[in-house]
Amino acid sequence: MEVGISTACLYPLETEKALKQLAMRNVGNVEIFINSPDELEGALLCDMKRTISDYNMNVISMHPFSSPMETLFLFGNYERRTNYLIDMYKRYFEVMNMFGAKIFVLHGAILSSKVPDELYLEKYLRLYRIGKEYGITVVQENVSYCKSSSVDFLKIMSEQLGDEVRFVIDLKQARRSNVDPFDLISALGGKIAHLHVSDGGEISDCMPIGSGSFDFKRLLCRLDELNYDGAMIVELYRENYSSYDELTDCAEVMKKMISERQTLNNKKE
């Protein structure tokens, strides 16, 4: 189980600079959050490729800045807009292939849009299948202000799309939706392909790993039961930590917990 850090943690630092900051701190596994179309082309793209190569980084996943567009473009009824966003996401997939990333994070339609379930599933499936053509898995994230905040809706996706759907669980988004992350795990099971991890407690719903009250031991136990082999990506907001070094501390705490769990499992065997 790989542990990584998202460049989103450093926002609004420019993406290529955020990647370099993580690289200089020996962060081996990353999720790249693209914040502008020009980061998918030219000098900025070359800069990121160079950093990834020079520091031997493993890019696990990518997150699009265009998530707010998905309601109107991808999940709307106007085919030209849908085609426009799909073409944009094809470019993401091409860049992901350059980086070696396999997981593409999708927010989906916002709650107030009232997109019918049938249309949502149709559009998601279309993008999922296009992603597969590029060797990319499009994963649906649980997001507090989106349709995906609902456990029942995610169950519908899982049941009706069969093996052509995968999910990412974001712990802070679950807290913001007043959803127990363990209910999500039980509902989605082996279709969970990715995790965004953070701690939380009475002070805040998004805190550095180890500073809150979330039961990570229970989380690791449940993931073991599912034979989860995806990554755990530390994703905090800039106001939730004091220095970039604190991000690497989060990753190290997470790695230690995983190592302790593995040691315990080995003793049981």
pLDDT in tens, 232-267: 999 999 999 999 999 999 999 999 999 998 887 777
Ordered DSSP codes for 159-219: HHHTTS-EEEEEHHHHHHTT--HHHHHHHHGGGEEEEEE-B--SS-SSB-TTSS---HHHH
pLDDT in tens, 125-165: 999 999 999 999 999 999 999 999 999 999 999 999 999 99
Range of the domain at 186: 2-268
Do the Cβ atoms of 66 and 85 come closer than 8 Å?
A: yes
pLDDT, residue 179, reads 96
Mean pLDDT on 186-190? 96
pLDDT, residue 263, reads 80
pLDDT, residue 264, reads 76
Tell me if the pTM is above 0.85.
yes
Whether the predicted pLDDT of 269 surpasses 70: no
Ordered DSSP codes for 91-106: HHHHHHHHHT--EEEE
Residue 16 has a CB neighbour count (10 Å cut-off) of 21
Rounded CA separation 251/197 (Å): 10
Residues 6+ apart with CB under 8 A from 150: 177
Write the single-letter amino acid at 23: A
pLDDT, residue 265, reads 76
Q: Minimal CA–CA distance to 119: which of 87, 156, 162? A: 156
Rounded CA separation 260/264 (Å): 6
Give the total number of structural domains in the chain.
Answer: 1
Identify the helix (H) or strand (E) that includes residue 3: strand 2-6
Residue 210 backbone zone (phi > 0: left; psi -120 to 50: alpha; other: beta): left
Identify the helix (H) or strand (E) that includes residue 90: helix 79-99
**Burial track 242-263 (b if 16+ CB lie within 10 A, e otherwise):** eebeebbbbbebbeebbeebee
**Burial track 101-110 (b if 16+ CB lie within 10 A, e otherwise):** bbbbbbbbbb
pLDDT, residue 68, reads 94
- Indicate which CATH number applies to the domain containing 167: 3.20.20.150
pLDDT, residue 1, reads 87
> Token pair of 227, please?
């034979």
Mean pLDDT on 210-238? 96
Q: 88: pLDDT confidence band, cut at 50, 70 and 90?
A: very high
> Token pair of 31, please?
């999720």
DSSP state of 142: P
